[in-house]
Structure 1
Amino acid sequence: MDENTSFSGTIPFNYDNCLGPMLFEPFAIIMSQRIKALAPDSILEIACGTGRLTKFLPKILREGARVIATDLNPAMIDYARHKHLMLRDVAFFEANAQALPFDDGLVECIVSQFGVMFFEDKVAAFKEAYRVLSPNGTLLFCVWDKLSANPASATVQDIMKEFFPENTPLFMYLQFSYFDDEVIRFDLEQAGFEKIKISTVPAEGFSVEAAAAAQGMVYGTPLFNHLSDRAPALIPAIVRKLEQTYTEKYGERFATPLRALVVEATKA
């Protein structure tokens, strides 16, 4: 897939304000509870995005715990850094998960919320995580389950097919492309991880209004980059169609089912 996956320009704002509460906050709470149970003294977050999970980390860890948050996209890490200036105990860095700029054995836990799907070489990224983890450290991440299990996002792809029956944009498929637990387990084992636990976790996402959800799905993802390059004049019509469909399915203030895989792996 050669879809543009850059979270740049105005995308971080729309991603955080429109999609954040609906798609990412429910799993940020779930992931923070998992991290709290692990009780690490040091943690590295990969692909932190706009900081939906990051903001919980200082609250759930002991005072003085080391927290590092990273993202590959400069616009996303800048947004997170400025939005969460009050998080004095968090160090923000721009970093590539496949070539982490950190010493071996630096942290007890590495976490990533909905970032692994975008790694071009997942085994390389897992090897880097393994290297940076201390002995018996934990890699914890979540990825979306299949597209059909996340109907609000599946609706976007359906509408893309309506507007572009040929050469349909594939970004939604990319987001929901890493859900096979056997593949995930194999990739982690290739990197050296053991004691791999994979669980399917349902949640419910809420949006204050259908219009905000539609705006976020288009203007808050790299799908916007693709549409801007290909058919910018169609973007308002696509957003209106998506808002109308969401209103018909869920009502003006709607709740939508979400489903993800939460993966926990231990360094030998």
Structure 2
Amino acid sequence: MQEADKVFAGSVPENYDRYMVPLIFEPYAADLAQRAASLSPNAVLEIAAGTGVVTRALAPNLSAGASYVVTDLNQSMLDYAASRQPPDSRIKWRQADALALPFEDAVFDVVCCQFGAMFFPDRPAGYREARRVLKPGGHFLFNVWDRIEENVFANDVTNALARIFPNDPPRFLARTPHGYHDTALIRGELEGAGFSRLMIETKAEQSRASSPRLPAVAYCQGTPLRNEIEAREAGKLDAATDYAEAAIAERHGHGEVAAKIQAHVIVAVT
């Protein structure tokens, strides 16, 4: 993963929440929140919370006495998440690195992470940290995207941009969000971090939008793909977005569009 792949700054958080969250994240956030709430945890840690889609889904389903610590490496994402969350004294917001969590050992019942593990520079270290802060019998719940070919709009945008920039195609989506899809590797890294009981479920959903414009803007302007486009040619962002929109429209139509998304959901127990 390149260092720029971790930069969610400027207008990215707002565009990410406005476009990406309803496009691809909401169904998996609801799933992860349901799994976490079903464990009736008293202490929850969320890693790489982004703009808070899991937080908004999970908090209403926790007990009145539960504590919920929400973290992200990017302060701008965390600030945006906090601004979207209704006042809740159970929630503590804290900037934190998943590879060096600022918490004591064995203090959480559940650690959850929505589509964040792919961004860990050292995933085994992140998994060891999750295990360290979990109580005995605690649960680590997270999800990661399957390969890009199983996530149609992301693949459409990546292929479209490769035609605009044939000499240096922007590969952020394939490289990082969709670059950690090997379930044998995931299982091996978790076992190496000390998790013994594992479940990995591959879950398909539908990505829906009112027009091809929305997924084009979501991916080109609501993720670090924006940084890659702008680095290749100044002033090219709008044209690249337009081209991605046209590619999606050509394949899926000019009105409402829908396409497959697919992810792996992982439950690991200490």
TM bracket, shorter-chain basis: over 0.9
Partner residue of 1:72? 73
Partner residue of 1:149? 150
Inter-CA distance 112–21: structure 2 relative to 1 (3 Å threshold): same
Say whether 1:129 aligns with 2:130: yes
Partner residue of 1:263? 266
Partner residue of 2:62? 61
Residue 89 of structure 1 and its aligned partner are, at CA, apart by 2.2
Given that residues 229 and 240 in structure 2 are in contact (C-alpha distance below 8 angstroms), is that contact kept between their aligned partners in structure 1? no
After superposing the two structures, state which structure 1 stretch, 227-236 or 128-137, moved more: 227-236
Residue 243 of structure 1 and its aligned partner are, at CA, apart by 1.3
Partner residue of 1:193? 195
Given that residues 47 and 111 in structure 2 are in contact (C-alpha distance below 8 angstroms), is that contact kept between their aligned partners in structure 1? yes
Say whether 1:100 aligns with 2:101: yes
Partner residue of 1:211? 213
Inter-CA distance 105–3: structure 2 relative to 1 (3 Å threshold): closer
In structure 2, which of residues 221, 224, 229 is the aligned counterpart of residue 222 of structure 1?
Answer: 224
Given that residues 36 and 60 in structure 1 are in contact (C-alpha distance below 8 angstroms), is that contact kept between their aligned partners in structure 2? yes
Q: Secondary structure at the match of 1:38?
A: coil
TM-score norm. by structure 2 comes to 0.95
Partner residue of 1:4? 4
Aligned mates of 1:118, 1:246 — CA distance in 2? 27
After superposing the two structures, state which structure 1 stretch, 143-152 or 208-217, moved more: 208-217
Given that residues 3 and 226 in structure 1 are in contact (C-alpha distance below 8 angstroms), is that contact kept between their aligned partners in structure 2? no
Q: Secondary structure at the match of 1:135?
A: strand
Deviations for 1:56-93, whole angstroms, at most 9, x for unmatched residues? 22212222211111000111011111121434421111
Residue 37 of structure 1 and its aligned partner are, at CA, apart by 2.0
Deviations for 1:73-128, whole angstroms, at most 9, x for unmatched residues? 11101111112143442111110000000111110000001000010100000010
In structure 2, which of residues 241, 245, 258 is the aligned counterpart of residue 243 of structure 1?
Answer: 245
Q: Structure 1: where are the runs of 5+ without partners?
A: none
Aligned mates of 1:145, 1:222 — CA distance in 2? 19
Aligned mates of 1:88, 1:50 — CA distance in 2? 19
Given that residues 48 and 116 in structure 2 are in contact (C-alpha distance below 8 angstroms), is that contact kept between their aligned partners in structure 1? yes
Residue 33 of structure 1 and its aligned partner are, at CA, apart by 1.6
After superposing the two structures, state which structure 1 stretch, 18-27 or 33-42, moved more: 33-42
Q: How many residues align structurally?
A: 267
State the Cα RMSD in Å: 1.3
Given that residues 45 and 70 in structure 2 are in contact (C-alpha distance below 8 angstroms), is that contact kept between their aligned partners in structure 1? yes
Aligned mates of 2:182, 2:259 — CA distance in 1? 23
Q: Secondary structure at the match of 2:38?
A: helix
After superposing the two structures, state which structure 1 stretch, 168-177 or 245-254, moved more: 245-254
Residue 40 of structure 1 and its aligned partner are, at CA, apart by 1.3
Inter-CA distance 91–190: structure 2 relative to 1 (3 Å threshold): same
Residue 198 of structure 1 and its aligned partner are, at CA, apart by 0.5
Aligned mates of 1:233, 1:39 — CA distance in 2? 50
Residue 205 of structure 1 and its aligned partner are, at CA, apart by 1.7
Given that residues 43 and 108 in structure 2 are in contact (C-alpha distance below 8 angstroms), is that contact kept between their aligned partners in structure 1? yes
After superposing the two structures, state which structure 1 stretch, 206-215 or 252-261, moved more: 206-215
The one-letter code of the counterpart of 2:204 is: P
The one-letter code of the counterpart of 1:33 is: Q
Q: Identity over aligned residues, as a percent?
A: 36
Q: Structure 2: where are the runs of 5+ without partners?
A: none
The one-letter code of the counterpart of 1:265 is: A
Partner residue of 2:173? 172
